[in-house]
Amino acid sequence: MKYEAIVLGVSAGGLKALTTLFTNIKDSFKIPILLVQHMHAGSDDYLARYLASICKLTVKEADEKEKIKNRTVYIAPANYHLMIEDDKTLSLTIDQKVNYSRPSIDVLFESAVDAYNDKLIGIILTGANDDGARGMEQIKKAGGLTIIQNPKTAEVPSMPEAVTKRIKPDHILELEAIAKLLNSITI
Amino acid sequence: MSSINENIEIICLLEGIYQKYGYDFRNYSQASVRRRLKLKLNSSNLPSYSAMLHKVLYEKDFFDSLLLDLTINVTEMFRDPTFYKALRSDIVPILKTYPHIKIWHAGCSTGEEVYSMAILLEEEGLLKRSLIYATDINELVLAKAKEGIFPLEKIKEYTTNYQRAGGTESFAEYYTASYDAVIMKKRLKDKIVFSQHNLATDGIFTEAHLIVCRNVLIYFNKELQNKVLGLFKDSLIRKGVLALGSKETIKFSNYANDFIELVGKEKIYGKIR
């Protein structure tokens, strides 16, 4: 198996998109998923509890210094950036907002490239700004796999569209097809 | 992408900073340091971290600006309102039992959370017998904290935080607005002493009833986290209180057995011996 981790960025329209994606991911899905969903600074761990209830994977808010494990989804906590260290542990920071966002998708993706090089899959779904586009460019440059939700059918197209302005993504797909692709390449 | 060579260059750069200026970033979490260095590399048009090391060694001004980039942390007044609520309900009653209260706020950055504490103490009738020692590694942010001047555009957000944190007055009581900034009231400032202190290299700062150090430990590796938690343990009075950031814990450290949880969810701990 070539790929060792998936980084996933989503913003406006995210809850619906994530629901479709995670209900279609196989119970046996192995590699870790690190997720940034833009959210309000005061949000609690609702998203983690919700996603845990609709799929068989372990879903949790990321803790600092936590070792990344298989079959687990890590969600960036509200008001913290999530980063990956070279030893595959997680870091949280309260650094400046990036693209008006904390957590920022670019911050996660760029650190993930440092840690995983070409063994990384980057995914951008629905969203209203351009956070994540730079990170996807780095993933592509490092030889990782880049996937975006088809902007034509995304609830808010700006975020996946912003990726296409920087790179030609390897796959432009509907949500169900993204799940299918992930199921097939990460067994 | 980080290459092996680039990582070696960064190690050399951090070692050079330590040898020359005494600031020790060698035990900071790498990813965040690397991100900050990368931003500096791009903005200063340098070809490599080796070139940056040379500039750091021979140009003090350049080092000063790099130090600011490496150490500035952003914060807000009453960040995490539920934390301040817990302080009021669970910790203030403990503080009320002391005739004089010493609080050490370590890593105070530009001071927003220190003024928040002073406001809370005043509303609880404790400010007059309290003294807050606010420290940070970075003298430039300390100077800002001491001024107590904050952008007016932030006040709406801070007011919301203040109210969520259980504030009992009108938030406007605590500052004077002029043009596009506010300045915090003198009676709050009078109870705060700002000083430079480096958690990575300096020793015990004071004997405190309460130590507040929020969202600083997340920047350190395990080894440095342990060292700093030991420093806090030694700086607290018996049954003193330690308040960490909402994503920080003492649980997996060397000092897990020296503290009990007072408010677990808000990461507020009590020293037991």
Residue B101, pLDDT score = 98
Give the integer Cα–Cα distance in Å for A178 and B10. Answer: 38
Q: Length of chain B in residues, anyone?
A: 273
10-residue mean pLDDT profile of chain A (187 residues): values are 93 96 93 95 90 95 95 96 96 94 97 96 97 98 97 96 98 97 84
Name the one residue in this structure whose structure tokens are 């996603």: A51
Contact B75 A94 (CB under 8 A): yes
A109 in reach of chain B (CB within 8 A): no
* Cβ-proximal residues to A132 (8 Å cutoff; 6+ apart), any chain: A9, A36, A105, A106, A109, A122, A124, A159, A162, A163
Q: What are phi and psi of B65, to 5 degrees?
A: -70, -35
Q: Could you tell me the two tokens for B109?
A: 């950055």
- Walking along chain B (273 residues) 10 residues at a time, the average pLDDT comes out as 83 97 94 95 96 97 94 89 97 97 97 98 97 95 95 95 95 94 97 95 91 96 95 96 95 94 96 90
Per-domain residue ranges of chain A: 5-185
DSSP-assigned beta bridge partners for residue B183? B149, B176
Report chain A's mean pLDDT, rounded to a whole number.
95
Q: Does A141 touch chain B (CB under 8 A)?
A: yes
ipTM of the complex: 0.90
Let me know if domain A5-185 sits in CATH 3.30.70.60. no
Task: For residue B99, give how far its alpha carbon lies from the nearest alpha carbon of chain A (Å).
Answer: 35
Q: What pLDDT score does A43 carry?
A: 84
**What integer pLDDT is reported at residue A187 of this predicted model?**
57
Q: Do A110 and B35 touch (CB under 8 A)?
A: yes
A86 an active-site residue? no
DSSP states along chain B:
---HHHHHHHHHHHHHHHHHH----TTB-HHHHHHHHHHHHHHTT-S-HHHHHHHHHH-HHHHHHHHHHHH-----TTSSHHHHHHIIIIIHHHHTT-SSEEEEEES-TTSHHHHHHHHHHHHTT-GGGEEEEEEES-HHHHHHHHHTEEEGGGHHHHHHHHHHTT--S-GGGGEEEETTEEEE-HHHHTTEEEEE--TTT------EEEEEE-SSGGGB-HHHHHHHHHHHHHHEEEEEEEEE-TT--STTSTTGGGEEEEEGGGTEEEE--
Nearest CA in chain B to A88: B31
Residue B32: closest CA among B254, B213, B216:
B216
Decide if A170 is catalytic.
Answer: no
Which of B30, B35, B79 is the closest to A86 by Cβ? B30
Q: Which of B11, B13, B7, B5 is nearest to B53 (CA)?
A: B13
pLDDT score for B1? 46
Nearest to B31 among A79, A84, A138 (CB): A84
Q: In Å, how far is A152's CA from the nearest CA of chain B?
A: 31
User: Counting Cβ atoms within 10 Å, is residue A54 exposed (0-12), middle (13-18) or buried (19+)?
Assistant: middle
CATH of the domain spanning B81-271:
3.40.50.150
- What are the extents of the domains in chain B? 4-71, 81-271
